[in-house]
Amino acid sequence: MDLTFTPDQEVFRQEARTWLEANVPQPGVLRSLDTKEGFEDHRVFERTLFEGRWSVVSWPEAFGGRDVGIMEWLIFEEEYYRAGGPRRVSQNGIFLLAPTMFEFGTEWQLDRYMAKMASGEEIWCQGWSEPDAGSDLAGIRSKATKVDGGWILNGQKTWCSRGAFAHRCFGIFRSDPEADRHRGLTYYLIDMAAEGVTVRPIGQLDGETGFAEVFFDDVFVPDEDVLGGIGEGWKVAMATAGSERGISLRSPARYTEAAGKLMDLLASTPAGDLGGYDPRAAIADDVVKAYIDAEAYKLHTYMTATKVRAGHKVGAEASATKIFWSEADVNIHRAALRLLGEGADLYEAQERGGLDLSEWLDGYLFALSGPIYAGTNEIQRNVVAERMLGLPRG
Amino acid sequence: MDFSFSDDQQELRSAVAKVLSDWCTPADLHARYVALDADTGRAKGRWEAIADLGVCGLLVNEDAGGLGLSDVDLIGIAEEAGQVILPEPLSTTAGVVFPIAASTAAGAPVVAAALEQGLSATFGGVAFGPKRHSVSTTLDGAMATTPRVANGSADLFLLVADVGGELQVHLTGRDGVSVVATPSLDLTRDLATIHWTPSAETLIASGEAATALVEELLQRAALYSAAELIGLCDAMLTLTASYVSERKQFGVPVGSFQAVKHHLAGARVRLEFSRPALYRAAYSLATNASTAAHDVSMAKSMASDAADEAARVSLQCHGAIGYTFEYDLHLAMKRAWALSADFGDARSHRTRVFDLVSAARA
């Protein structure tokens, strides 16, 4: 056990810090990534990251990465959040699809897609959920029919994050209606500009269109855009789900950074004057719990990264991880809003002790989606119970 | 960054775990509940078997008769002690009393002799409070103090006292104290009140040196009780998972119901994330990291909460059988309740974390 970083890693950290301090825009400069203009603002920033070779540090150099290991990736993420870096508009591609591409993609697919994914030139959305297949993902009904040179897609996908503005979509369709529900699925890489694709944006809690419904009406996808084998869609999708719930979607830095600010917020909150009952003290314990959870998530991630580096695959623990980070995120932001009390729901800029208070509200709305997406936490608890504790399937 | 245990560390842990599970069965523990002092020979044999492993001197330097290893080597062994609900003070002796006493000139030879004879040790006289430590106080050196200790049948006692305004740490054998049993809900903890009088012969540190030792004592006590809590938590969840997989109602195992699954999954997730915090705390103590106090308090607060939650859901998921005296669950549950409150409960440690983090961020 050695919980320190190597001198090389410290050099890497310093290099990242220096670059990010010089290049990360001030808060508020980029418009919301869930608007058309903000989406473009964020793509411009992705381009800047890519040109500095910071957009995908763990990828091979050929696709714009630095070919560094998982620990360096975690270091980069710590520095990214420390610098106040914006949400990544390319996250569905670089964090969810990319690990799957590197595992299952053909050489042609990697050459065609990865560099453009890394630079933000092509933004990807996920086409998995359907109106009648959410947590029960294997229940999807959108169809793929074999034709000469490719496939014809028909059906409807929904809750596609970034779907309103994305260029490409990675989706699962039922390619064999006769096979059993886990076997008849195939994974496709789809052009959102193809004929027959209709996008209907959906307003999220904040009113902006972070996600969308996507309709497929005789959409042609060429054979070379099948990812993994025909009928292998479930297996390929589960590899992505492992990344989504595991360590590649939510690096701990997001939480440790927010939790540190939360501790500052508590320190800067005036003590109440309600006789013997101090509401600040009543919230304080929740604040420290949230801080501790963020720290614990960081440590758990270092431990998982150690195992991954030794060749271990992340299995059912990914479900425990997803429950933990999504709830920690909600708890961090909820504690902040409780500390702010009356006025916590105001959009107008407020500041206290050098903190921009309106970030907590946005952060809370974002955090609330965590226990729902990537498989609800209820489904994840079933997985933990069955696969980590050995309980019988229901 | 290598957040893992070496093969040697894992082998040592497994070897000790094997001895502990052979010598400390639920039947042994039930027997102690029936009559703590009706020794069937198992208790004596058990401590001898543990002492023979040499683990009590694991943290003591080799020139003082120990193995010269670190908290990272010992932490998993303390988890195993919790896992079997060990009544003897293995982690207290090896992780708390011996390393502290051996770091003083007067205590080192006593520890060396104790290791040779296979003695056990416990400590008392200090408690972890939200803001500061409370210490047994005497008006002057002549007045006896009466701290409470777990494992009252131990051979050596590390005792802290405030003597006429000066903090002192003493180390004494049974001949220097009078032990009065003070039964707690967990009878196997062997809780006792110690009557003793501080004297020059038993003094091993005073003043500033004593203050530093007491801080270390509290960190070690919190760390190793956290380790036992993690072991207890694991044991309770394993026992409960096995029970709900067998027990049938409505024609199916009750563990197939989501309500039961979600109770246990919640506790399992807590356990999963408490472990790395425990191991980091052990590493920080082992490397004298400046963050040790923070890391230990974080680990203890997580372990206290994890074990408390595991106890709660384990009882609920068992139903009435878990509420009985004859079933095994209460053995672990009562130890978990005691240790989650001892040496600082979850909330006192969170208060400490807040103070330390605020000071560091200011």
d(CA B159, CA B167): 11
Under 8 Å between Cβ of B171 and B202: yes
Task: List chain A residues with CB under 8 Å of B2.
Answer: 1-3, 306
Mark yes or no for CB contact A3/B283 under 8 Å.
yes
Partners of A1 on chain B (C-beta within 8 Å) are 2-6, 72, 279, 283
Tokens found for residue B128: 């972890």
Residue B140's pLDDT is 47
Residues of B in contact with A260 (CB under 8 A): 357, 361
Q: Distance between CA atoms of A233 and A224, rounded to whole angstroms? A: 15
Of A266, A299, A394, which has the smallest distance from its Cβ to B258's Cβ?
A394
Are B358 and A284 a contacting pair, CB within 8 Å?
no
Across the interface, do A389 and B241 touch by the CB < 8 Å criterion?
A: yes
Q: Which among B268, B280, B358 has the least Cβ separation from residue A389?
A: B268
Is A1 in CB contact (< 8 Å) with chain B?
Answer: yes
Phi, psi of B19, rounded to the nearest 5 degrees: -65, -45
Q: Is the dihedral of CA A7, A9, A13, A16 positive or negative?
A: positive
Contact A382 B237 (CB under 8 A): no
Which residue of chain A comes nearest to B348, CA vs CA? Answer: A285
Question: How much is the pLDDT for A308?
Answer: 86
pLDDT-derived band at B144 (thresholds 50, 70, 90) equals low
Please name the residue of chain B whose CA is at the shortest distance from the CA of residue A303.
B3
For residues B109-120, one letter each, b for 16 or more C-beta atoms within 10 angstroms of the residue's C-beta and e for the rest, the string is ebbbebbeeebb
d(CA B333, CA B309): 10
Q: For the residues B279-307, what does the mean pLDDT come to?
A: 97
Cα(B280)–Cα(B290) distance, integer angstroms: 13
**Average pLDDT rounded to a whole number, residues B36-48:** 77
Strand spans (E) along B93-189: 121-124, 126-128, 133-135, 137-138, 148-149, 156-163, 166-173, 177-181
Surface of A (83-112) touching B: CB under 8 A: none
Residue A320: both structure tokens together: 């425990």
Number of domains in chain B: 1
Judge: B361–A389 Cβ closer than 8 Å, yes or no: no
Tell me the shortest Cα–Cα distance from B265 to chain A, in angstroms: 5
Tokens at residue A226, please?
């099948």
Active-site annotation holder among A244, A327, A342, A359: A244
Quick check: is B298 in a domain? yes
- Alpha-carbon gap: A392 to the closest alpha carbon of chain B (Å): 5
**Residue A147 main-chain phi, psi, to 5 deg:** -135, 180
Q: What is the pLDDT of residues A138-170, one digit of tens each?
A: 899 999 999 999 999 999 999 998 999 999 999
**What is the per-residue pLDDT for A272?**
61
**Can you tell me the mean pLDDT for B59-68?**
94
pLDDT(B73) > 80: yes
> Please, which contacts does B111-117 make with residues 24 or more away whose CB atoms are closer than 8 Å?
B111/B57, B111/B60, B111/B64, B111/B65, B111/B66, B112/B60, B112/B64, B112/B65, B114/B155, B114/B156, B115/B56, B115/B57, B115/B60, B115/B65, B115/B66, B116/B65, B117/B155
Determine the distance in angstroms separating the CA of A320 from the nearest CA of chain B, rounded to an integer. 5
Q: Which residues of A touch B257 (CB under 8 A)?
A: 394
Q: How far is Cα B186 from Cα B325, in angstroms, rounded to an integer?
A: 12
Per the DSSP assignment, residues forming a β-bridge with A160 are A212
**Residue B272, domain extent:** 211-361
Arithmetic mean of pLDDT over chain B: 93
Structure tokens at B236: 């309770």
Q: Tell me how many residue pairs between chain A and chain B have CB atoms under 8 A apart.
A: 147
In which residue are the tokens 């006590």 written?
A: B221
CA distance A206 to chain B (A): 30
Q: Do A393 and B256 touch (CB under 8 A)?
A: yes
What is the secondary structure of B253-285 as a DSSP string?
A: EGGGSHHHHHHHHHHHHHHHHHHHHHHHHHHHH
B5 and A382 within 8 Å at the Cβ level: the answer is: no
Cα separations (Å) of A215 from A143, A220, A227, B192? 12, 13, 21, 73
- Give DSSP secondary structure letters for A42-90: HHHHHHHHHHTT-SSTTS-GGGT-----HHHHHHHHHHHHHTTPPP-TT
The whole-angstrom separation of Cα B219 and Cα B231 is 19
Query: Which of B265, B272, B358 lies closest to A385 in CB terms?
Result: B265
Taking 70 as the threshold, does the pLDDT of residue B37 lie above it? no
The answer, yes or no, to whether residue B8 has pLDDT greater than 70, is yes
3-state secondary structure of A122: coil
Q: Are strands B156-163 and A143-147 parallel, antiparallel or unpaired?
A: unpaired
| pTM reported for the whole predicted model | 0.93
Pairwise CB contact (< 8 Å): B268 & A288: no
Contact check, Cβ <8 Å, B269/A324? yes
Q: For an interface test with A, give the residue of B244, B273, B283, B285 to mutate (most A CBs within 10 A).
A: B273
Q: Please give the residue of chain B at the shortest CA–CA distance from A9.
A: B1
Pull the structure tokens for residue B173.
Answer: 């054998």
Burial code (b: 16+ CB inside 10 Å, e: under 16) for B140-178 equals eeeeebebbbbbbbbbbbbbbbbbeeebbbbbbeeebbe
**Residue B356 falls within a domain, yes or no?**
yes
DSSP letter, residue A196: T
Query: Which residue of chain B has the CA closest to A294?
Result: B273
CB atoms near residue A180 (< 10 Å): 8
Give strand ranges (E) for chain A: 124-127, 143-147, 150-161, 168-174, 185-191, 197-202, 211-222, 226-227, 351-352, 355-356
Interface test with A, best of B2, B270, B302 (most A CBs within 10 A): B2
Give residue B126's pLDDT. Answer: 83
The rounded distance, in Å, linking the Cα atoms of A130 and B221 is 53
Whether residue B103 is contained in a domain is answered as no
In chain A the domains, ranked by start, together with CATH numbers, are 7-89 (no CATH), 124-232 (2.40.110.10), 246-388 (1.20.140.10)
Residue B275 lies in a domain: yes
How large a percentage of chain B has pLDDT more than 90?
81
The 3-state DSSP class for residue B180 equals strand
Distance of alpha carbon B109 from the chain centroid: 24
- CA dist A307 and A305 (Å) reads 5
Beta-carbon separation of B264 and A392 below 8 A: no
CATH of the domain at B288: 1.20.140.10
A284 contacts on B by Cβ (under 8 Å): 354
Query: Is A286 in CB contact (< 8 Å) with chain B?
Result: no
| Pure H helices in A310-357 | 317-340
Q: Is residue B131 very low, low, confident or very high in pLDDT (cuts 50, 70, 90)?
A: very low
Q: Tell me if A1 and B283 make a contact (CB, 8 A cut-off).
A: yes
A164 is written with which tokens? Answer: 């309103």
The neighbouring-strand residues paired with A316 are none
- What is the spatial distance between Cα A182 and Cα A243, in angstroms, rounded to a whole number? 19
Structure tokens at A128: 């998995």
Indicate whether B11 pLDDT > 60: yes
Whether B93 maps to a domain, the answer reads no
> Does residue B14 form part of some domain?
no
Q: Does A8 touch chain B (CB under 8 A)?
A: no
Nearest Cα residue in chain B from A286: B350
Which run of H or E residues covers position A310?
none
**B65–chain A nearest CA distance, Å:** 25
* Residue A121 among the catalytic residues: no
Series of mean pLDDT values for 10-residue runs along chain A (394 residues): 97 98 91 91 97 96 95 94 94 92 96 98 96 88 97 96 94 94 95 97 86 96 97 88 61 89 85 63 90 96 91 86 95 91 71 74 91 92 97 92
Which of B1, B10, B274, B356 should be substituted to probe chain A, the one whose Cβ sees the most A Cβ atoms within 10 Å?
B1
Residue B4 resides in a domain:
no
At residue B176, φ and ψ (nearest 5 deg) are: -95, 0
Residue B258 lies in a domain: yes
* CB-based contact A89:A134 (threshold 8 Å): no
ipTM of the complex: 0.94
pLDDT at B295 over 70: yes
CB contact under 8 A, B301 and A394: no
Taking only the tens place, the pLDDT of each residue in A257-296 is 999 989 988 888 776 655 566 777 778 999 999 999 999 9
